[in-house]
Amino acid sequence: MDTILVVNAGSSSVKFQVFAVEGDGGLRRQIKGQMEGIGSRPRLRASGPSGDPLVDRAYPIEAVADVPVAMTVAGAWLREELSINPIAVGHRVVHGGPDHARPVLIDHAMVTRLERYVSLAPLHQPHNLAPIRTLLNNFPELPQVACFDTAFHRDHDALADHYAIPHQLHTEGIRRYGFHGLSYEYFAKRLPQVAPEIAGGRVIVAHLGSGTSMCAMKGGKSVESTTGFTALDGLAMGTRPGQLDPGVVLYLVAEKGMSATKVQDFLYRDCGLKGLSGVSNDMRELENSSDPRAAFAIDYFAYRVGLNAGMLAAALQGLDAFVFTAGIGENSDTIRARIAERLAWLGVALDQTENAKNAAKITRADNRIPVYVVPTDEELMIAQHTLTLLLNRQSPTPKRERM
């Protein structure tokens, strides 16, 4: 059976999924797993298509010290214990820069080009590229595909794409990119099945998780995004501040004596919900906390989502639907309710019973602006892109290299 391996690598974990390629070209999820606690408490966990556990195995810290080793260990488990040898591997790569509006096959030269964007996504890009290098070195004939979180937004109008800076800087790549594109692309393809009546309309999608953004979509295309040049912009996130006056950065450098490296680390790791609350970057912990600062962080989060919804509605010149997705958006009925209160001026009124059930549609039947909860599936999107690129590149039965 032909399979596609999907890899989403972070700083302390490597998430992976395996999809079987069906005879009609469809994809069926077989395995979902991750190597977590890399460099601290390494643990390999994976489950089958019905959620049945396949492995739960701890390792000594020295046995899985970094992402490349984690990839090697997980790959060995797939190959040796489950006899899985994928025909291709698809990777989530956060930043594709100005040149990549669609997935690409990867070689060493491509990795070198993508390294230019490490400073634009320091929490993600280096770790996204690490397993790619490992597979290129160990299995050079195995096709690998990079799928970019910025690609879905690359068709933005020039007005949405530019900053008010000299044109030469825009030419060099300083522009508004937008992120979470794989999630939004999945939603754009899913909406005709979930809600065909608004699929071609004006929709705001709120991807609310540890990383957070919102996207204005019209006819399934991205029109505007809350994120820009880097994933620091827009909404407050788990550890990132969201929209910030550039003067704050200048102040940190001039008055606090912080170096560029320290400022970067501060903005990516110590701000957002974590900085506001002083409690946690995890919304679940904030919701269960009695600390007033945790309550303030939640209020701030909902307030900023409401503000940005107004901006995106203006970009769309109206609104036909609002959608929640990702970890917080899919699972927290209380956060959805708080945000909905901020959207009442748009005509949003939740059905509290449906909201509590995490139903697909959580507004009353007579509501002017319907609100939906649509689970995202970035991994399936990556697998589909990988298979499509592979089949366009060669015959339907590609040469298989054992991984």
Enumerate the active-site residues.
149
Which two three-digit tokens encode residue 46?
């994976």
- In the chain, the amino acid numbered 157 is D
CA dihedral 49, 52, 55, 61 (to 10 degrees): 90
Whole-angstrom distance, CA of residue 18 vs CA of residue 25 = 15
CB 225 within 8 A of CB 214: yes
Instruction: Give the CA distances from residue 356 to residues 246, 334, 366, 374, 375, in Å, rounded to whole numbers and listed in that order.
Output: 40, 8, 19, 15, 15
Give buried/exposed letters for 13-29 (b at 16+ CB in 10 A, else e).
bbbbbbbbbeeeeebeb
The H or E element spanning position 131 is helix 125-138
Give the CA-trace dihedral at 325, 276, 121, 32, to 10 degrees.
Answer: -40
* Cα–Cα distance for residue pair 253/260, rounded to 1 Å: 7
The amino acid occupying position 340 is: A
What distance in Å separates the CA atoms of residue 120 and residue 104, rounded to the nearest whole number?
Answer: 20
Please provide residue 51's backbone torsions phi and psi, each rounded to the nearest 5 degrees.
85, 5
Q: Which of 283, 92, 101 is nearest to 178 (CA)?
A: 101
Asked whether 176 and 163 are in contact (CB, 8 A), the reply is yes
| Closest to 205 (Cα-Cα) out of 385, 379, 307, 326 | 326
Q: Which residues lie closer than 8 Å to 342 by C-beta, 6 or more apart?
A: 302, 303, 305, 306, 309
Written as one letter, the residue type at 365 is: A
What is the amino acid identity at position 386? T
Tell me how far apart the alpha carbons of residues 215 and 219 are, in angstroms, rounded to a whole number: 13
Kindly report the length of the chain: 403
